[in-house]
Structure 1
């Protein structure tokens, strides 16, 4: 997850490694940690984690203070600091389900795909009950975002960063931030200007601190402007700030930051100003050379140079190989974009950004393919800046960018005007995640992406894609035990497949409905749906799928104890595999015939069929299949009262597996329940 703070004091602090001012607030916060709570005073043990609130407007350095507090008290919380951002830059709330998943990922706990926020927040709280951690919740909108994450563990500490109070959470210790004190503000400004320019005119420096309202973000912008103009005097900047008129209906408390932003923005060359405005479109405020070049239509090299210049001026914060637009500045940049850029240009920039992201994701996936494959040949034709040198480098890029990529997909779908690009983006992201992390590990992210595809498909009436998304979501529901939900989705997929006249989706949905009923142990309905799917496959001449479905029917009838029906279907499966020349599948199907014969009280027939299956397996040359069938034969002989022959076949299975093989390494051939 991304644990970078939004409203830090600015690049000056990051560059110097120092924290400016706020010593009184730090002392107060540390004292609040030690101070007894209301429950302790009343003689009761505190039921939950202590909550400290750092309240202040964006740009006040509230997150920087929270991070400094976390650094100072980290030793008291040996299990570490857990971070979450509750509001995206620009004011959009982060869904609680996503917050909880990111916290669980940080704790190394797998979260079930498709789980609701109640289940996921419970998992977070449960995990924290056995840990001593500091939970830093940044940009909280209200108590409803904080309360579900608070663990029932007084050994944990929660530090919430918000703009206002957290009404509804008991015993919250608030620390309200205004501007920095004059001395600290001037000290921060001096990291840009040097001490001489401050010493020459200390009153002008105080005036700048006052005009900036003591806000670190505003001071960083003015400081960056001064650093870029070593001949400009501090007094000149103070005069220019005072002369700037207030803009529109800007709230009084927000004017210092808005005026500092305007001072520096108006000094930008036109290309840099345009890029800054368009960066407000970057998902999560995260941008690199590729994103910026696509948004404004310039080269990557030119974009990277401009991004560096904007970072030097304090508009951006460097975060390794990419930049972040601070949340306090994003609304100002977005307002300028709406005022100066034509809607058509904005939409074009967004489309170019999505297209570039799709190409990067294709490259990210292609690097995992073998040398000489079509994907690798296509990768070689891409521009050098879009290619990854190694698969680990691509995986690292995907991991770092994943929050922004998911946000990009979500925003593209919600936009509604770029649905074709949105669908391509989601498809490319699904393939990249599957290639680098595997479908099982990436299941939580894939679930959300399939939901996005479903939304676009329903909006556009794309029945084929709707069916595919529903099938994928239902499969993930089944994997996490939500069979009833899966059944409803499989039925909806069947309707969508019929509307699209898609035989694959229709047949797949029918079979999956049968599988869901089988999971629910409704054997009659399972057999009915498997039968429908079988008829569909046979009508289209899909004999391999038909043989497989005969086997699924045989398994369901076995579960239900209808051994006559089970034998008929398993024998039909054997006949189907014989026509197809599929020896391994035919051997497995014969093994199931033997199982049903044994259940039906025909042990001699079962033994004869087992021998036939073993002989077929020998013809395949598959040692593991032969070993599994030898073990099945040994079990049958044991139940027939011939332990000597049973030991012989068991030893034969061990020889087939070799010196490193064990009985557990063979694959079991069975379709009956585990209780059988």
Structure 2
């Protein structure tokens, strides 16, 4: 599709955008239901994610069109808003209709002008490359038919207007393109005769007669014969009925009753399991075939997914529907040497009774004979393992009763008019059912867990399941657990998934051998990826190339069905996945085919790419390299435009790449990239802290600590000790945190890292504060503050100011307001919503302490809004808690209960013990106000225990006070 925005050529960034725009164009300005768009573009592949994907796609298309109003939205769906002349398809239809009205009025000159203007809008086939979407293929065919009609009408008008000589070249091309269409030959004969080219007109008749006889065994129709006779007589003004006898008649006249009925199908699979729905769909498509064109169905999927088994089974079940024969050929398209279509045609023609001496040499001639032989017959053609569209197009039979099934690892999206069926791996239930069917062992059903585990180790891939089942069937003394134990080790799994001629490795190797060299390289290196899915920039890092170039290579692997599209992530980036068994084969090929050092270099770029992007994400969230330390590990830059796109939502990118960040730390550790390892672990805290991924935090920090100690990296060791202490601080494990800070501080001093010292002192001071040693805490905070100002860490400086203000709040030593206002101004200047929310939380506490409930509510609302905006779930819990405590003070008990319950649920889910204990303390006070003694006692007693476990004496005493007050309030009056 060609797009022009504001007079300048523009490009759509993805095929999905092109498909969406084309579907809206086909609706001609009418609203298209969202469900209709989803079904057309994705079918059922995306499930519940489809609605979100469509919204993202519409948003991106609006940006590309540079006008949000171009795509209207209402309750039922979306519509394209444009003038008729702005959309070629609409403009063409309008001009064609106006030309038709001009013809009705006998205004031939006007009609010709409009027809030429309409035809000039065409630049090739409509929606070219998008016809894997069925509605677009159908719309393209309708538009093509309209184009041919307008072209024919324009030629007829030119004939009437006497423009005979002008249109002869055009008619010659039309006849050459479709030599069996008698109406085109008739028009050419008339134009030639009227231009004085009598000999050429008769030669056109003779050539057309010869083609009809050779291809269809027919004589020309009465129209052509009458024209020939008139020209031979020398009639000066021959006429032409342009709408009679235009097409060759359909029917079985080209085939003699004695022609052989070939049946070339391989044997069917007797135990096809788990494909019942796909089998019904496939047979339905082939049975409901149109009269004029053959039914075409392309079945695609990854190696070993069972494409051939399904297609062969469908062909066997439909033998009665195709009584004139079933042709089959394995095109070997996945390998390095696919079968030439001319060779496949030679085999087909022999099967159809054509003697070897009569088979033409050229591909086009063989295809013409093939179509002529099948014209009027009901024959099913099965083209197995096709390489691409070019290989299969000459093998497509004619219409009038024929059908073709094609299996291919690629989707064959450029094949016109084809229905597409994409096979995935089996469901868990179907996989177990296939194992049971193959083994024939009833006892399998008794050990459901082991069989399910075996199915998962096979990746629920039918070929792997068949091999596993065959091995169990051949060894009745083996238990399922024994085979599971043999498959458990990844390095042995492909060796074990071999039985006789069946081999998962061989199937995958065939696909690998047919790849281009860049695709082979990327395939090998994708075996290094240790996450369930990955984004396109990962491929760029593995190849050390531009992301766009890497995505082109990725597309090649997708077409080969060695990787698959996994949907869009939270920031709208496409993600890809690789099947577990395919990943194992990729690793094997990497070990065998990668040059020395290439694997380590690729992993260094990959981990360096994660580090560079995480570093940039932290800077964008914090306003700079604040509250973080960095090492000298190598970075890999994926390009300015890609960084800008990925990190437009830095928190979203971090969430999308959480598992990748964890894996990158582990891989850097294995490579002894100690600086990369600890730097990644520390930078990833930006995500782990905000989202409460404390297990990831601990795992990455401990992994990095072991790595830096192994190579004697003192600064890295200090950083990871600081990280682990900070994690314990967040979990309110103050006793456990203190030794980490005590060990980190002298290490930072040994390498003269003032920034590291300041951050460690700041966090150590917090322990002093919560344990009630306010004086020591203030001294450490003030020392840290001086250092932070010297190194320019404004974010940490603001944090320390807020902490000092908190001490003043808790002990009434001074007015905390100026410190909080200064800290808030710094955070606002840095654009740090999270830091600002933390200060606002303390401002809310100050207002609450002073009895200013409305001001406190306003502050806590800002805390909640900012936390939700950046996905800070812990901050959100604090906001809910503050609102509940404020409403409790104001006597708004129902609202307070709602907010406190929400804060407690969220805090418990995050493992945020301090917020949970405070919520229970406030909840106990609330229950006491309502006279709910049992509830109040339960919540207060638990809050007392939790504050004691955390080690917060100040809050522990407050909870005890609340419990004593409850006892005093509910005790009987003393007797006097």
TM-score of the aligned structures, taking structure 1 as reference length: 0.44
Where relative contact order (Cα < 8 A, 6+ residues apart) is larger, the structure is 1
Larger radius of gyration: 2
TM-score of the aligned structures, taking structure 2 as reference length: 0.32
